[in-house]
A and B are shown apart, each in its own frame.
Chain A
Amino acid sequence: MNTKSRQWFLVFCTLPALIIFSIFALYPFFQAIVMAFYDWSGMSDEVTFIGLKNFETLIHDPKVWTALTNNVFLLLVVPTITMGFSLLFAVLLTRRKLRETTFYRTIFFFPNVLAIVVISILWSFIYHPTFGILNSFLEAAGLNSWIHAWLGEKSTVLWALIFPMVWQAIGYYMIIYIAAIQGIPNDIYEAAVIDGASEWKQFTHMTVPLIWGILRITIIFFFIQVFNQSFVYIQVMTDGGPDGSSEILMTYMYKQAFQNGNFGYAMAVGVFMLFISLTLSFISDRLMGRDAVEY
């Protein structure tokens, strides 16, 4: 095969994917940005250009800022907890020679194969105020003052949403970290043990630096995942309540677009979200700029 026909072949192979990607990903993406500058209900053929007016409304809309605060809260807390637990389990399952390793691996990974809607429904029954397992447990333990309507109170609702998210994600990241740790040659650890390094020293001075590249990637994953998936949890478990206190930008955008017939404004919220996620990935890239150690 000469180079030219090879090139043609490559073009043919990539073209279908490229076309599908352009139509179903790129085109709607740019269309969404464009629509943010229009007054459109999403339902009619009447579309009016209004410039930056949607963004002006957005800046003065207190609901957007509450939603953003909730988004940021979730973005900070969920990845931190998930990463902590996943790393802990990964290290325990690889460095400690447990006999039940496979069993734990399956158990921890299990939530990951469930649909998020199923998880949300499951957890809204765990939190059920009268016969939920959580409140029943607290009652049995004599901690009656700890009983809450978890999803119905402003002070508890966000934390109550965090646990299902963490529970769902731990297994996935644990598997990634296990794979990374298993890639570290064992003789390094043996040498460290001979030199008298404690488990904690081994973890902070060897494991973490050696899998740093993977950790970096998973942090980006975390951001994307929390940003996208939290919509489903909130939609099913609280509908943004009580009184808007678990509203996030995605649910607010959805409500503006599909319940309030204000598509243009919803797209403006979408563009705002795009801006935030770009900033986030930029910041995370900067913060994590330290290079991975090679072995």
Chain B
Amino acid sequence: MKRTWIMLCILTLVATMFAGCGNSKPAAEETIKGGETTTQTSKDEEGKPDFENKELNIAVFEGGFGRAYWEEVISRFEQEYQGVKVNMTSNPKIMDIIKPQIVAGNPPDFIYAPMTDNTGTVQTMIKEKALLELNDVFDSTLTGESAPLKDKMVDSILNYAAPHSDGKIVVAPFNISTLGMWYNADLFEKKGWKAPETWDELFAMHDTAQQDGRFLFTYQGIYPTYNDNIVFPSIASAGGQQAIEDAASYKEGAFQSDAVRKVFGLFDTIAQKGYLMPGTVAMNHTQAQTEFLKGKALFIPNGSWFEGEMKDAPREEGFRFGFMAPPIFNKGDDRYALTVYEGLFIPKKAKNPELAKEFIKFQYRDDSIKLNAEKTTGIVAVKNASGLVKDFVPESVYNSIKIFEEGVKPLIFQWNVTPKTEININKEMFDAISSVMNKDMTVEQWIERMEGYATKLRELSQ
């Protein structure tokens, strides 16, 4: 009797384990259903757009923006498309959750994730061409609108949504954030300082800042990539779009151009002249940002999420977030600000791609865009966004997109996709800043290093 019991226990144990380990389809589908939020009621099957498969599985990144928007938009979508059932899985680590499904060839129908997703899943899926082409989505016209969707999008953003330069759009750009430099608007007003327009003006503030017990500049220390907010727009400003394109495509001599030399030189100036807040190199992002809020440094690079990110951090009295695009070299140069976006994707192996496309279109309707701003303070990458969302977002976020109405040009930077390699050129480019700040590296050495990696990537791509 006892033995039968033991036998039974072991058998169950073994069976459960194998069931859990196999990447069989039913198991995977069950996981998705586990995340659903809506109730299951049988609805009339007579909605106007009719789809054979009425079940849509979506995976949603639950970052700073939360999931409230998605819950609401799903219920609106289900109301309009009768009989459709949307199953949502949302999680801050959504990519880790869906990775096994993707590997097993059974991905969700729709993914919402930042392009800078730190698991690299999005970038890898782009690299491996595992995403569905979305050109027809952007060629179509939304109900009640006159122009095709592609005309509604922010200028030229769709060029970046086709990363293989074959014209195939694989990313639907969703929330955009603007990145630039931040200062204490309250302090500047009180002291009668003006946000600098050129680098000379910015560097000239050093003496004034010192008299006030402040340093000129700091950045997120052990994560020097935050300086992309400054580097890429400044290169574009000094050398035009061409300089940026040359760099992004690893063109020979791209990093020896005057534009790049000038921009790298800015960091050398900051290091050599003592403009950097001491200790910056050793701080993590929270520490450096806190020091900035406490008034130790005048400027810091960051994105428009800054206010939300630091809402609980201590700060000097009266602190108000002031935003500006990185300065230019000479008055009259074009001024750029880096823009990053989150994407909506449909994997090539999605079970229900047609309905997923409808779902993507639904996100670009004016009322969805407003709903998004209301629930998340996010700004969708459409032309008249600032008008649509003005009432819903904090002042600092609003100011960060208003600069584009004041003549600043948006810049999206993406390194050209290469075959798999151990080289992470973006990391190499910005890690060098630590060495420059420690005076271990000259501008020439930095350029040489970048040219070296660019050559390798160029050879790899051929």
Contacts and interface: CB of A to CB of B under 8 A. Distances in A.
Interface of A: 8, 12, 15-16, 19-20, 23, 39, 41-46, 57, 61, 63, 124, 127-130, 149-154, 238-239, 241-244, 255-256, 258-262, 264-265
Contacts of A260: 120, 422, 424
Given A259-B120, A261-B123, A262-B422, A152 B10 contact: no
The 3 lowest CB-CB distance pairs between A and B, nearest first, are A129-B279, A152-B282, A152-B281
A16 B9 CA distance: 10
A266 to B, nearest CB: 9
Contact of B279 (A61, A152, A154, A242): A152
Contact of A154 (B21, B99, B223, B440): B440
A43 B124 contact: yes
Interface stretch (B134-142, B155-163, B316-324, B431-439): B431-439
A241 B17 contact: no
A12 B10 contact: yes
B14 interface: yes
B283 A128 contact: yes
A15 B10 CA distance: 8
Nearest to A247: B431
A164 B132 CA distance: 49
A248 B435 CA distance: 18
Contacts of B102: 43-45
A128 to B, nearest CB: 7
B370 interface: no
Nearest to A20: B17
B278 A129 contact: yes
B1 interface: no
B120 A242 contact: no
B127 A242 contact: no
A244 B431 contact: yes
B143 to A, nearest CB: 35
A264 to B, nearest CB: 8
Contacts of B455: none
A263 to B, nearest CB: 9
A128 B434 CA distance: 16
A29 to B, nearest CB: 15
A45 B363 CA distance: 30
B128 A41 contact: yes
Nearest to B424: A260
B434 A41 contact: no
Nearest to B14: A19
B280 A152 contact: yes
Interface in B278-296: 278-284, 287, 291, 296
Contacts of A264: 420
Contacts of A23: 17, 21
Among B21, B105, B435, the one with the most A-chain Cβ atoms within 10 Å of its Cβ is B435
B127 to A, nearest CB: 7
B121 interface: yes
Given A41-B420, A243-B432, A258-B119, A151 B105 contact: no
Contacts of B125: 43-44
B19 interface: no
A127 B17 CA distance: 46
A132 B13 CA distance: 52
Nearest to A239: B222
A243 B434 contact: yes
Nearest to B449: A243
Contact of B438 (A8, A242, A258): A242
B39 interface: no
Given A44-B124, A61-B422, A149-B280, 14 more contacts: A19-B14, A23-B21, A39-B420, A43-B99, A43-B120, A45-B103, A128-B287, A149-B278, A149-B279, A241-B434, A243-B432, A258-B119, A259-B424, A261-B127
Interface string B270-281: 000000001111
A262 B422 CA distance: 7
B278 A241 contact: no
B438 A43 contact: no
B438 A152 contact: yes
B104 interface: yes
B422 A151 contact: no
Contact of B130 (A44, A152, A242): A44
14 contacts: A12-B10, A19-B17, A20-B17, A41-B124, A43-B124, A43-B128, A44-B128, A57-B422, A61-B422, A149-B278, A152-B280, A152-B434, A239-B222, A255-B427
Contact of A153 (B14, B119, B432, B438): B438
Contact of B120 (A39, A241, A261): A261
A148 B438 CA distance: 11
B281 A258 contact: no
Given A19-B14, A46-B128, A242-B438, A127 B422 contact: no
B120 A45 contact: no
Contact of A242 (B104, B422, B435): B435
Most buried by B among A39, A127, A244: A244
B421 interface: yes
Given A15-B10, A261-B123, A150 B282 contact: yes
Contacts of A41: 124, 127-128, 420
A42 B100 CA distance: 9
